[in-house]
């Protein structure tokens, strides 16, 4: 295999999120009916007690408002079933979702599309309005041809989808009855702390409304399922079919919506996740009014600021988010935001991590003008930006290089970092399907025992800037790295292009 072939193979490899390393499976909780008997038995949680000695009063009050949701959809062939995942089409968990939904239970028969059989799936929900307004997960009803709600007393009612939002994985349904329905109240999820007791309601495996008890294990979990991840982690057993069911505090108020689990076997192992009620309640209110949500849009790719990055760009401590790429023609580009800027606040809100900025921008109505505080090359600046509208089909924006001639010198090794660099030659452009004007320093090899490898640099990456100064060749990159080392910096900041994305990587000299 030639060096160029090797680089191409590394370049097209998917960059997976760290959550995939934590556990082999992350599963949605809405199963097909024929999967019910495949459930593994989960041992009961021991040692949980309510303040009064029993959760029975809470269960008696809330259980009548918990519903079972049955959806009917046209079955897809096993190799095309990809919409069952609440984590979206580009999630590193998608393979596991497809495996889970395709291989468990009876496979769909090989029939022509027009004769494809229908399948049924189960989920849960809860009533928030006595007029029949019901909240559930989007992935419970996504793609459904029809939706049926079964009340706690066994009454079956057809349901209408009022609104849904894939980014937050939430949906609102409506059923019609001749009488007011029992409801549950929203609670304050912001007051939850690790160790607080919680109850999880739902219909696991189609057995009927069930309640389990546990505690809040952690807050603010990011499963890489979407831009607004802020999950509550719980150890109360939840399983397939619990999706969309309420998570309540011991006072009976809803503090979350059961959404996903990590599991090696399809059953609960005590690691479940719920959408916080404070986030859900705002989204539900918007869905009830308009059926969909318009999110604000900036047009930047961002990443956290690590201690090494802070040192490289002159910050006293890690703060804000680093702009790795600005989409052409985006609101950010029009406002003058640049690659390498560190956004420290938006609309008066301090930005501590990428989720802060994603949520802050998303909550702003398109067309609103807001102020950004940025750190740029040692100076603090204020930038006014008109927030755009986030469309699902908006492209991130392509990266263009400069138009000069590339250097012909190859094989340079960056000192101390463990990088073998070469120019982006015409052969490399052709082999790696790069643009004709693509320049920079192509990473030919990485010493596995050096700092660059530990920082995540891979063969096939293209270094396009060093310490926020563009580089066109391996020689320029090497010289810039040497200069950074001579200046006494603890690390050097590399802007790396990998596939269609750009990211900053801070490589420390000390570990070289």
268 annotated active-site: no
What DSSP letter does each residue of 279-335 carry, written as one string? HHHHHHHHHHHHSS-PPEE--EEEEE--HHHHHHHT-SS--SEEEEEE-TTSHHHHH
Q: How far is CA 351 from the centre of its chain?
A: 18
Is residue 446 within 8 Å of residue 21, measured between CB atoms? no
Q: Which of 62, 102, 142, 169 is catalytic?
A: 169
Which letter, b or e, does each residue of 219-238 get, where b requires 16 or more Cβ atoms within 10 Å of its Cβ? eebbbbbbbbbbbbbbbbbb
- Pairing of β 133-136 and β 118-129: antiparallel
The position carrying tokens 């921008």 is 361
Residue among 117, 103, 165 nearest 145 (CA):
117
C-alpha–C-alpha distance, residues 251 and 68, integer Å: 23
DSSP state of 43: P
Q: Which of 85, 102, 139, 461 is catalytic?
A: 139
Backbone angles phi, psi at 53, to 5 degrees: 100, -10
139 annotated active-site: yes
Q: Which of 189, 217, 243, 345 is catalytic?
A: 243
DSSP, collapsed to helix, strand or coil, labels residue 486 as helix
DSSP, collapsed to helix, strand or coil, labels residue 219 as strand
C-alpha distance from residue 413 to each of 126, 427, 476 (Å): 61, 20, 12
Q: How far is CA 255 from the centre of its chain?
A: 21
Encoded tokens for 89: 């089409």
Residue among 170, 210, 192 nearest 55 (CA):
210
152 annotated active-site: no
The position carrying tokens 């807050």 is 219
Q: Is 178 exposed, middle or buried (0-12, 13-18, 19+ CB in 10 A)?
A: exposed
Kindly list the catalytic residues: 139, 169, 243
């Amino acid at each position: 295999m030639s060096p160029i072939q090797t680089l191409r193979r590394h370049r097209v490899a998917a960059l997976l999120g760290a959550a995939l390393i934590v556990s082999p499976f992350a599963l949605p909780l809405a199963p097909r009916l024929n999967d019910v008997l495949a459930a593994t038995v989960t041992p009961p949680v021991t040692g949980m007690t309510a303040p009064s000695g029993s959760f029975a009063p809470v269960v008696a009050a809330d259980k009548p408002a918990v519903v079972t949701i049955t959806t009917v959809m046209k079955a897809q062939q096993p190799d095309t079933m990809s919409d069952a995942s609440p984590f979206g089409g580009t999630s590193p968990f998608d393979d596991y979702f497809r495996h889970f939904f395709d291989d468990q239970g009876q496979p769909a028969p090989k029939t022509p599309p027009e004769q494809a059989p229908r399948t049924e799936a189960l989920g849960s929900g809860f009533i928030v309005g006595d007029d029949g307004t019901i909240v559930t997960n989007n992935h419970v009803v996504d793609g459904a041809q029809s939706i049926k709600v079964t009340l706690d007393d066994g009454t079956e009612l057809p349901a209408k989808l009022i609104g849904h939002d894939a980014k937050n994985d939430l949906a609102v349904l409506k059923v019609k009855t001749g009488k007011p329905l029992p409801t549950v109240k929203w609670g304050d999820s912001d007051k939850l702390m690790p160790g607080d007791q919680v109850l999880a309601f739902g219909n696991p495996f189609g057995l009927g409304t069930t309640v389990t008890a546990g505690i809040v294990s952690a807050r603010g979990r990011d499963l890489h399922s979407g831009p607004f991840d802020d999950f509550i982690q719980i150890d109360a057993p939840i399983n397939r079919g619990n999706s969309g069911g309420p998570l309540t505090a011991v006072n009976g108020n809803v503090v979350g919506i059961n959404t996903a689990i990590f599991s090696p076997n399809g059953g609960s192992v005590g690691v479940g996740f719920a959408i916080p009620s404070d986030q859900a309640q705002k989204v539900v209110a918007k869905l009830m009014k308009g059926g969909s949500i318009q999110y604000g849009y900036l047009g930047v790719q961002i990443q956290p600021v690590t201690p090494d990055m802070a040192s490289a760009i002159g910050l006293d401590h890690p703060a804000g988010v680093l702009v790795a790429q600005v989409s052409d023609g985006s609101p950010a580009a029009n406002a003058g935001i640049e690659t390498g800027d560190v956004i420290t606040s938006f609309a008066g809100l301090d930005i501590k991590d990428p989720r802060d900025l994603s949520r802050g921008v998303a909550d702003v109505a398109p067309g609103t003008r807001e102020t950004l505080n940025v750190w740029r090359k040692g100076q603090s600046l204020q930038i006014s930006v008109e927030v755009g509208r986030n469309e699902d089909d908006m492209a991130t924006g392509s990266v263009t290089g400069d138009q000069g001639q590339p250097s012909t010198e190859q094989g340079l090794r960056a000192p101390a970092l463990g990088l073998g660099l070469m120019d982006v030659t015409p052969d490399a452009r052709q082999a790696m399907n790069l643009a004709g004007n693509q320049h920079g320093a192509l990473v030919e090899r990485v010493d596995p025992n050096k700092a660059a490898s530990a920082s995540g640099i891979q063969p096939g990456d293209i270094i396009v800037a060093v310490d926020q100064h563009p580089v066109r060749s391996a020689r320029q990159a090497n010289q810039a790295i040497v200069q950074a080392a001579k200046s006494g910096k603890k690390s050097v900041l590399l802007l790396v292009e990998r596939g269609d994305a750009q990211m900053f990587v801070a490589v420390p000299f000390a570990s070289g």
